[in-house]
Amino acid sequence: MSLSKSWVTSANSADSDFPLNNLPYGVFSTDALDPRCGVAIGDMILDMQMAEDLNIIALGDEPLFDVPFWNEVMEQGPAVWAALRNRLTQLLSQGGREQKMVEQLLVPMADATLHMPLLVSEYTDFYSGRHHATNVGTMFRGAENALPPNWLHIPIGYNGRASSVVVSGTDIRRPWGQLKSPNHDAPAFLPSRRFDLELEMGAIVGMGSEDPITVDEADAAIFGYVLLNDWSARDIQAWEYQPLGPFQAKATATSISPWIVTKAALEPFRTPTPDREFELLEHLKDTGPMLYDIDLKVTLAPAGKEATQIAQTNFKEMYYSAAQQLAHHSTSGCPMNVGDLLGSGTISGPTKPERGSLLELSWGGKEPLTLDTGETRTFLEDGDTLTLQGAAHGEGYKIGFGLCTGTILPALTDPFKR
């Protein structure tokens, strides 16, 4: 598929994250405008609230864009999702007859502040990257026991905190927690010393369900995708995770990119999941290409210094797709809600530069990573800014996600002082 041309000139650049082929959904504000839904096109944002007020966008009898989140649109289902995308494409295509009318609805992205694009109902994080799981398992259990016996049969996950999901650009405070040093018998309550990132993708559920759903039904229920950084306190995690898995180590924050890239925009980039070592049970089997070819990278910038690229990989490295994760999640009868967020799990490739966490890149802190500045890192230091980027590449264009950034703030001096 090649570039679709828009009358918004900046959208026609091969370097733009937001060509007409993309049209991702977000929430923005300016000095003059309260937070409202918007659609990214080139270096501009289409004001959806104003478009609806002027009846340029009309999707039903009731307004959908009088609130600053996309949940109302998600609830309308795939037919409305498709109608909206078709209407936006019509309005913004080169030669469109309504250009002059739509021009008044555009806001420069440089003048906008971006906000959470949705109300997150629930958050579940998975552990579905085989290279990541193998690396971590090898570190802690040895290569012969790297993957638990269930790993190649089901997508493993845990229920996280929707309340701590934040939009890109939100500062991240280093957490306190109970730590256990190998050299001491008793734990201590201290700021995390092994704070880490995890490069992930997030799938947003657009249709709820009360009963188990198939992989195909799950795929149809996904509204779109975001970049996701699952901030992780490795030392808190090491002490708490047995026997029930991660808890406080993962509760500090989860950052997402501000633009929801729709599943429709990613359709040309579908790709198969990896070869299976064991055939999956019937309810989880692949029914076609279930993943997406999305290049991903991570940069780390110490305070006031230039950034270093520390990892580069691809979403197609996942062992389980978001549709398989969602289908598995529903099998117990667990209700799935509009606005549920599913984290993919850390995305790592087979080589060291493709590892999506500092835990892997520094091999548990034993192999410090050297930055372009000459500094080294085993885990994150105060003042570090982490930036996740991702894009699927077509012929003369790309489908980008914008940036997913966060800067580490020092731990509170006294977390209980009021």
349-395 per-position pLDDT tens digit: 999 999 999 999 999 999 999 999 999 999 999 999 999 999 999 99
Whether the Cβ atoms of residue 20 and residue 4 lie closer than 8 Å to each other: yes
Q: Which residues are the active-site residues?
A: 132
Taking 90 as the threshold, does the pLDDT of residue 152 lie above it?
yes
Taking 80 as the threshold, does the pLDDT of residue 185 lie above it?
no
Nearest to residue 87, comparing CAs of 4, 28, 23?
Answer: 23
Name the residue with tokens 């192999």: 367
Ramachandran class of 417: left when φ > 0, alpha when ψ lies in -120 to 50, beta otherwise:
beta
- What share of the chain has pLDDT > 70, as a percent? 100
Q: Under CATH, which number does the domain 123-409 receive?
A: 3.90.850.10
Q: Under CATH, which number does the domain 9-115 receive?
A: 2.30.30.230
pLDDT for 366? 96
123-409 matches 9-115 in CATH topology = no
Strands 25-29 and 113-115: antiparallel
Global pTM value:
0.97
pLDDT in tens, 224-233: 999 999 999 9
pLDDT in tens, 251-262: 999 999 999 999
| Listed range (16-20, 36-40, 47-51, 56-60) with the worst mean pLDDT | 56-60
Strands 176-179 and 188-191: antiparallel
Nearest to residue 273, comparing CAs of 336, 341, 219?
Answer: 219
pLDDT for 1? 80
pLDDT in tens, 365-378: 999 999 999 999 99
- The residue extents of the domains of the chain are 9-115, 123-409
